[in-house]
């Protein structure tokens, strides 16, 4: 049995879900989680968690709230020395066989100070560590993400990128791309095709979408805004993982922002995806861009959606479904097998 220290940014459930799926896949090993926000939810599942401050992302009007996000980051980074010193103490006491950072800033710095390797494990680095022809739009967002990811989140010794779209690494000796992780609860739902469309918004501020949906003939089941009163063809539901997955698995297609996890889960369940990526969140945009490029669905960055874009999308559902059926979106086994190899390599003192 090995000891694994897993550090995660806890401002979104995607990172927490990664951590949980890795822990479940490597259940014979001992885990210590480090992070804040949703990371602390792992305590209720019986895992040990050391709470550490992190730089959260805030949203407003379906876009990143840059002033609030930058203000929080400055406050957290002002405590950098204190946080890194505490992490050094945690790492020394736990003495892990493997250190993983899921887009967490401080742990790779502490590992480097102690002369230890740290593995980056996330999706965000697909933008900075892989080769692709960037779309001619959103250049400012791309440059900002590359700057942030390269300056603050690229202090690891090795990079494992999980992604529903496969791109070649810039440096194959230090970077590899593996298929996405899919939650066990998702695999327990068999896809069917009902009469509704699922809508899931992680930023509950995109109210301009509702008038467009009301003009459609479809029925929409909506998550992310709470249990608002139903109106016309819109049914709002409160947060419920089981209910959400049942509605996703039985939907005709889904409308989401651009989060990698929810897109991967939808594709695993063979659902075409329409994305409204959150403004100024380039990683969400690039996810939506490859959804379109690979014919898994489509996207829009319009701040005020129009009905025609969804009418056109619905006319191409058969094309999208055919493209999705040809791909494999389940990477749990290969990811856990690779992490096991890294544990063995670290114990033997070999290069990864």
Rg (CA), the chain: 20
Alpha helices in the chain (DSSP H): 13-25, 66-77, 80-94, 106-113, 126-129, 139-152, 184-187, 209-214, 241-249, 260-268, 282-293, 307-314, 317-325, 332-348
* Burial call 9-35: b when 16+ CB within 10 Å, e when fewer: bbbbbbbbbbbbbbbebbeebbbbbbb
- From residue 244, alpha-carbon distances to 15, 23, 44, 194, 223 in Å are 19, 23, 21, 14, 8
pLDDT of residue 67: 65
Are residues 204 and 226 in contact, defined by beta-carbon separation less than 8 angstroms? yes
Quote the pTM value. Answer: 0.88
Question: Which segments in the chain show pLDDT lower than 70?
Answer: 10-12, 54-78, 139-141, 143-152, 203-205, 347-352
pLDDT in tens, 159-207: 999 999 999 999 999 999 999 999 999 999 999 999 999 999 876 557 8
Q: For 180, which DSSP code?
A: P
**C-alpha atoms less than 13 angstroms from C-alpha of 270 in its C-beta half-sphere:** 14
- At 63 the pLDDT is 58
Among 286, 331, 297, 349, smallest CA distance to 143 is for: 286
| CATH architecture observed for domain 3-181+331-348 | 3-Layer(aba) Sandwich (3.40)
Question: Which pLDDT score, from 0 to 100, does residue 150 have?
Answer: 62
pLDDT of residue 238: 92
Q: Specify the pLDDT at position 105.
A: 87
Domain with CATH 3.40.50.2000 in the chain: 3-181+331-348, 185-325
Tens of pLDDT, residue by residue over 315-348, are 999 999 999 999 999 999 999 999 999 998 876 6
Under CATH, which architecture does the 185-325 domain have?
A: 3-Layer(aba) Sandwich (3.40)
């Amino acid at each position: 049995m090995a000891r694994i220290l897993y550090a995660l940014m806890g401002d979104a459930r995607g990172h927490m879900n990664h951590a949980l799926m890795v822990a479940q896949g490597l259940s014979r090993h001992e885990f210590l989680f480090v992070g804040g926000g949703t990371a602390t939810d792992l305590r209720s599942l019986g895992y040990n968690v050391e709470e550490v401050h992190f730089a959260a992302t805030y949203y407003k009007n379906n876009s990143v709230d840059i002033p609030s996000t930058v203000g929080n980051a400055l406050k957290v980074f002002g405590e950098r020395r204190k946080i890194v010193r505490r992490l050094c103490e945690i790492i020394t006491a736990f003495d892990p066989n493997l250190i993983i950072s899921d887009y967490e800033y401080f742990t790779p710095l502490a590992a480097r100070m102690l002369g230890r390797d740290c593995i980056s494990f996330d999706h965000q680095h697909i933008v900075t560590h892989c080769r692709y022809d960037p779309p001619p739009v959103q250049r400012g967002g791309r440059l900002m993400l590359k700057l942030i990811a390269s300056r603050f989140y690229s202090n690891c010794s090795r990079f494992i990128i999980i992604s529903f779209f496969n791109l070649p690494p810039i440096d194959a000796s230090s970077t590899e791309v593996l298929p996405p992780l899919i939650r066990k609860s998702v695999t327990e739902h068999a896809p069917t095709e009902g009469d509704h469309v699922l809508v899931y918004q992680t930023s509950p501020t995109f109210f301009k979408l509702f008038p467009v949906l009301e003009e459609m003939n479809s029925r929409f089941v909506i998550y992310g805004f709470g249990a608002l009163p139903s109106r016309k063809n819109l049914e709002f539901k409160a947060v419920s993982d089981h209910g959400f997955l049942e509605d996703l698995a039985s939907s005709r297609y889904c409308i989401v922002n651009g989060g990698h996890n929810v897109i991967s889960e939808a594709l695993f369940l063979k659902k075409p995806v329409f994305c409204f990526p959150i403004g100024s969140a380039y990683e969400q945009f690039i996810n939506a861009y490859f959804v379109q490029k690979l014919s898994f669905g489509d996207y829009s960055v319009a701040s005020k959606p129009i009905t025609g874009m969804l009418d056109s999308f619905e006319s191409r559902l058969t094309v999208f479904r055919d493209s999705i059926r040809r791909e494999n979106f389940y990477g749990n086994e290969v990811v856990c097998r690779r992490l096991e190899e890294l544990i063995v390599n670290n114990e033997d003192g070999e290069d990864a």
